[in-house]
């Protein structure tokens, strides 16, 4: 009797769940017909472009979201450009990562907003006193996000634009539990990519041409998205969220001043800026040198070959390599673009640069003195646990943690202290270099890497390590610095849009 009741109840429950599924269908199906129409006027180098587009708002991209306000995305599909109909069925997809400071991006509050700032600089600086650059380091130009909206430029080129919400280090439930600590942000972004691919047959845009774009923390996540494609190391997270069972590799990665390789950025920072004064004072030279001294071994472990036959990169020749490969070309572009009078004035004010009439020369030491140091010591895993990164690497119950053995040992006084394996896993899952070193993921083939030469939010070595690792693996890397520009600069957004056209062969 009791047995058959259980059976009947079971049968009823089973039929209920079957009917629920069939009534709802695929919970991750793109709602092709649920859009509003909008118009935007985009200023381009070739004049004003009027774009009519379909806006799909706030679509959850996982079946079991922790918080659908964040784990949802918006899509813009151009349907007419300057009055001419366009068909974006097979267009590249610009995947816009609006994360700044490793903070969350709320999709419910119009996270995509028409004309929302693209790529970081969201007005949410990293916590703590470490992220504030000092004034007066001799920069000719400061932070210079161009104000041009890359999303709008993409629409004007006929591309589809996807803007996902993302969990971040600030997310906290009513019971106090944190739910956006590492690696939540990258899990969400990869789940959003899976959603796009899952819907490729019905959603406008070509899921094999996803191009990510982000700045700073967003640039780091864009880099990581490019490097970690189809890694199985996030599978447990996808399962828990009900992410689509699809590939999450992307075609190309656009990375502006990526604040990345977080477990090695303190040593790189002291290697570059260790002896520089900050607010008129040197940081603790003993601690600084302990960190700086760890950099050569790390660099050697990467086993990097400089481009153009430079040979193996070492801590001894790296300064010269950075000057030759990134800094001089950047300075030359800048100086050649000036009028004779402006160039003369600039060179008079920057006597550390020698100009032979067509090209600059200078030493790495003089360049570093020119830009100066902006962050404290250590720059990332700071002893007070107040950096954006300390807070990124918290967990459900702890807001901020040390994420390097160095800072853990320094603060605990235990020379043998080591971070938990659970935390080391999260640190790895946040680091594109971890995946590049494996060489086993389906990393993006195309890379667009940009940074202001006066950006001192992280060492230039972090960018060069990334670019060189990718180049050494045969990736197509387009990397350059904007001379004297600060953190978050984007001085060639239209070139990025044109580059997407070149690497995909797509034109509207």
Gap between the Cα atoms of 199 and 229, Å rounded? 18
Q: Please, which residues have CB within 8 angstroms of residue 281's CB and are 6 or more apart in sequence? A: none
Given 112, 196, 203, 217, the residue binding ligand DHB (CB under 6 A):
217
In angstroms, the CA 334 to CA 129 distance is 32
Among 126, 226, 432, 486, binds ligand DHB (CB under 6 A): 126
Q: Which helix (H) or strand (E) holds 163?
A: strand 160-164
Nearest to ligand DHB by Cβ — which residue? 216
**Token pair in block for residue 254:** 């656009």
Nearest to ligand DHB of 465, 504 (CB atom): 465
What's 256's DSSP letter? E
The conformation of residue 356, written as its DSSP 8-state character, comes to -
Task: Give the β-pairing of 160-164 and 93-97.
Answer: parallel
- 156-185 residues near ligand DHB, rule: CB under 6 A: none
Smallest gap from residue 259 Cβ to ligand DHB (A): 4
d(CA 219, CA 241): 24
Cβ nearer to ligand DHB, comparing 216 with 288:
216
How many Å apart are CA 428 and CA 313, to the nearest integer? 24
Shortest reach from residue 126's CB to ligand DHB, in Å: 4
Binding residues for ligand DHB, how many (CB under 6 A)?
A: 12
Peptide bond into 378 cis (omega under 30): yes
Q: How far is the CB of 178 from ligand DHB (least distance, A)?
A: 18
Nearer to ligand DHB, 30 or 256 (CB): 256
Q: Determine, following the binding rule CB under 6 A, whether residue 376 of this chain makes contact with ligand DHB.
A: no
- Distance between CA atoms of residues 145 and 140, nearest Å: 15
- Of residues 78, 92, 101, 183, which one binds ligand DHB by CB under 6 A? 101
Binding part of the chain for ligand DHB, among 95-103, 189-197, 399-407, 444-452 by CB under 6 A, reads 95-103
Question: Does 117 engage in binding with ligand DHB (CB under 6 A)?
Answer: no
As given in the structure block, the two tokens for residue 21 are: 């599924």
Rounded-to-integer distance, Cα 147 and Cα 144, Å:
8
Nearer Cβ to ligand DHB (71/456): 456
- Calculate Rg over the CA atoms of the chain: 24
Task: Tell me: does residue 261 bind ligand DHB (CB under 6 A).
Answer: no
Q: Are 313 and 299 in contact (CB under 8 A)?
A: yes
* Nearest distance, CB of residue 374 and ligand DHB, angstroms: 8
- For helices 405-412 and 285-292, the axis angle rounded to 10 degrees is 150
- Determine the Cα–Cα distance for residues 159 and 164; give it in Å rounded to an integer: 16
Cα–Cα distance between 58 and 70 in angstroms, integer? 9
Q: Is 120 in the site for ligand DHB (CB under 6 A)?
A: yes
Please tell me whether residue 145 binds ligand DHB under the rule CB under 6 A.
no
Task: Supply the minimum distance, in Å, between the C-beta of residue 457 and ligand DHB.
Answer: 4
Q: Quick check: 100 binds ligand DHB (CB under 6 A)?
A: yes
Return the number of the residue (100 or 319) whose C-beta is nearest ligand DHB: 100
Q: Which of 67, 81, 73 is nearest to 168 (CA)?
A: 67
Crossing angle, helix 285-292 and helix 265-273, to 10 degrees? 120
Distance from C-alpha of 69 to C-alpha of 91, rounded to nearest angstrom: 27
Q: How far is the CB of 122 from ligand DHB (least distance, A)?
A: 8
According to the binding rule CB under 6 A, does residue 216 interact with ligand DHB?
A: yes
Least distance from C-beta 388 to ligand DHB, angstroms? 4
* Contact with ligand DHB (CB under 6 A) among 69, 163, 186, 259: 259
Tokens representing 184 are 């939540």
Figure out which of the listed residues 118, 127, 246, 388 binds ligand DHB, where binding follows CB under 6 A: 388
274 in contact with ligand DHB (CB under 6 A): no
Site track for ligand DHB across 455-474, x = CB under 6 A: --x-----------------
Task: Report the alpha-carbon distance of residue 186 to residue 149 in Å, rounded.
Answer: 23
Cα–Cα distance measured from residue 25 to residue 31, given in angstroms and rounded to the nearest whole number: 12
Query: In terms of CB distance, is 269 or 446 closer to ligand DHB?
Result: 269
Listed ranges 97-105, 107-115, 464-472, 489-497: which one lies at the site for ligand DHB (CB under 6 A): 97-105
Cβ of residue 389: shortest distance to ligand DHB, in angstroms? Answer: 6
Binding ligand DHB (rule: CB under 6 A), the pick from 111, 131, 306, 376 is: 131
Residues in region 429-458 near ligand DHB by CB under 6 A: 457
Residues near ligand DHB (CB under 6 A)? 100-102, 120, 126, 131, 216-217, 259, 388-389, 457
């Amino acid at each position: 009797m009791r047995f058959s009741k259980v059976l009947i109840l079971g049968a009823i429950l089973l039929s209920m769940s079957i009917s629920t599924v069939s009534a709802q269908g695929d919970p991750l199906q793109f709602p092709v017909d649920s859009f509003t129409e909008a118009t935007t006027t985009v200023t381009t180098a070739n004049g004003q472009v009027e774009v009519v587009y379909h806006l799909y708002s706030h679509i959850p991209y996982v079946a079991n979201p922790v918080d659908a306000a964040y784990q949802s995305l918006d899509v813009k599909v151009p349907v007419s450009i300057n009055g001419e109909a366009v068909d974006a069925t097979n267009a590249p997809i610009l995947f816009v990562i609006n994360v700044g400071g490793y903070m969350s991006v709320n999709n419910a509050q119009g996270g995509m907003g028409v004309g929302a700032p693209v790529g970081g600089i969201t007005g949410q600086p990293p916590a703590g006193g470490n992220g504030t650059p000092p004034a007066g380091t001799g920069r000719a130009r400061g932070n210079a996000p161009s104000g041009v909206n890359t999303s709008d430029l993409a629409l004007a080129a006929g591309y589809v634009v996807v803007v996902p919400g993302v969990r971040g280090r600030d997310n906290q439930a009513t019971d106090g539990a944190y739910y956006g600590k590492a690696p939540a942000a990258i899990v969400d972004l990869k789940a959003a990519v899976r959603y796009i691919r899952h819907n490729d047959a019905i959603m406008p845009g070509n899921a094999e041409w996803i191009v990510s774009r982000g700045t700073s923390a967003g640039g780091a996540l864009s880099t990581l998205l490019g490097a970690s494609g189809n890694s199985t190391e996030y599978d447990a997270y996808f399962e828990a969220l009900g992410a689509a069972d699809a590939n999450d590799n992307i075609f190309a990665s656009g990375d502006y001043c990526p604040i990345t390789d977080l477990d090695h950025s303190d040593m790189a920072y002291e290697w570059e800026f260790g002896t520089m004064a900050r607010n008129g004072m040197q940081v603790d030279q003993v601690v600084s040198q302990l960190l700086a001294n760890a950099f050569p071994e790390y660099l050697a472990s990467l086993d990097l070959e400089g481009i153009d036959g430079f040979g193996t990169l070492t801590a001894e020749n790296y300064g010269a390599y950075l000057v030759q490969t990134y800094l001089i070309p950047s300075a030359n572009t800048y100086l050649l673009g000036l009028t004779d009078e402006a160039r003369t004035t600039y060179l008079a004010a920057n006597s550390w640069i020698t100009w032979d009439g067509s090209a600059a020369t200078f030493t790495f030491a003089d360049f570093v003195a020119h830009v100066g140091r902006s962050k404290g010591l250590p720059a990332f895993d700071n002893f007070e646990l107040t950096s954006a990164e300390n807070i990124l690497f918290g967990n459900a119950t702890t807001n901020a943690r040390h994420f390097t053995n160095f800072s853990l040992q320094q603060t605990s006084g235990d020379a043998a202290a080591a971070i938990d394996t659970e935390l080391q896993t999260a640190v790895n899952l946040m680091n594109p270099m971890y995946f590049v070193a494996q060489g086993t993921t389906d990393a993006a083939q195309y890379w667009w890497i940009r940074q202001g030469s006066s950006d001192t939010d992280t060492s230039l070595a972090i960018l060069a390590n990334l670019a060189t690792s990718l180049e050494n693996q045969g990736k197509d890397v387009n990397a350059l610095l904007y001379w004297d520009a600060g953190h978050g600069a984007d001085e060639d957004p239209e070139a990025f849009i044109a580059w997407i056209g070149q690497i995909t062969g797509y034109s509207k």
